[in-house]
């Protein structure tokens, strides 16, 4: 299942508009905060799909019947660009365990590239709800490789893939190459064009650079 939040009228679209805006992007702190706020909205939407227990909560005047999350998810992030989005999700699932994966494009002289994974820090995810986030889903290759690498830490009961902006090509790649169908995709928007250098158009540029500064 694919949820495209841009198709709904909500304040989420304001945050999406601002992370795309070339002038607002000059303020890296605001870019990070908007990405974080988008993560909070994604977390709220995902929370509606999870299981809850009925509990009694003692108030100053008596007891109230309440709902409590049955099991906290594991939140996984592709470094470094995914950190603000990850933080937003963690703000709502504040007792969640966390996983971090270093994935990047290793470019070659012929202008091609491959996805390289160099570092994984992850708890046991067997039987857990996994939330895997990355702000941009361009080709989809890094998301698929990251998910496959995380399977060495266990098989999640369900995976929620979260991305601020996806390309249609990236969505198609996930459908064709994910090792199972036990996942849901949450997008801020889906853009149709992917350039020859695998950049999403109109997209927003390099999310990692916009959040944390340019790199060599």
Confidence of residue 15 (pLDDT cuts 50, 70, 90): very high
Neighbouring CB atoms inside 10 A of 29's CB total 8
> Tokens 């927003």 appear where?
204
- pLDDT of residue 10 exceeding 70: yes
For the chain, the domain total comes to 1
pLDDT tens figures, 161-171: 999 999 999 99
Per the rule left: phi > 0, alpha: psi between -120 and 50, beta: everything else, 107 is: beta
Q: What is the CATH number of the domain that holds 100?
A: 3.40.50.2020
Res 58: pLDDT:
97
Give the CA distances from residue 148 to residues 88, 153, 172, 178, in Å, rounded to whole numbers and listed in that order.
24, 10, 17, 8
Angle of CA points 172, 49, 45, to nearest 5°: 75
The mean pLDDT value of the chain amounts to: 93
Measured distance CA(118)–CA(13) in Å, rounded: 34
Structure tokens at 95: 């007792």
CB 150 within 8 A of CB 98: no
Res 208: pLDDT:
93
The residue range of the domain holding 40 is 2-212
Res 170: pLDDT:
96
Going by C-beta distance under 8 Å and a sequence separation of 6 or more, which residues neighbour residue 99? 74, 75, 76, 77, 120, 121, 122, 123, 125, 150, 153
Structure tokens at 136: 């941009």
pLDDT tens figures, 79-133: 889 999 999 999 999 999 999 998 776 666 666 667 778 889 999 999 999 999 9
pLDDT tens figures, 29-51: 999 999 999 999 999 999 999 99
pLDDT tens figures, 160-215: 999 999 999 999 999 999 999 999 999 999 999 999 888 899 999 999 999 999 88
pTM score, two decimals? 0.92
Measured distance CA(18)–CA(30) in Å, rounded: 9
């Amino acid at each position: 299942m694919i949820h495209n939040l841009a198709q709904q009228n909500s304040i989420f679209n304001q945050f999406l508009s601002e992370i795309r805006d070339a002038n607002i992007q000059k303020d890296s702190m605001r870019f990070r905060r908007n990405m974080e706020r988008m993560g909070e909205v994604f977390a709220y939407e995902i929370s509606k799909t999870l299981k809850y227990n009925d509990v009694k909560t003692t108030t100053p005047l008596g007891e109230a019947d309440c709902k409590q999350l049955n099991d906290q998810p594991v939140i996984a992030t592709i470094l470094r660009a995914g950190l603000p989005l990850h933080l937003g999700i963690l703000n709502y699932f504040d007792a969640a365990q966390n996983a971090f994966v270093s994935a990047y494009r290793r470019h070659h002289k012929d202008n091609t590239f491959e996805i390289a994974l160099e570092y994984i820090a992850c708890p046991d995810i067997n039987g857990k709800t996994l939330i895997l986030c990355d702000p941009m889903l361009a080709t989809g290759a890094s998301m698929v490789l990251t998910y496959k690498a995380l399977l060495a830490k266990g098989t999640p009961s369900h995976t929620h893939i979260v991305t601020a902006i996806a390309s249609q090509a990236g969505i198609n790649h996930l459908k064709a190459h994910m090792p199972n169908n036990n996942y849901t995709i949450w997008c801020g928007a889906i853009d149709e064009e992917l350039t020859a250098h695998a950049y999403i158009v109109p997209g927003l540029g390099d999310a990692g650079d916009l959040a944390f500064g340019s790199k060599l």
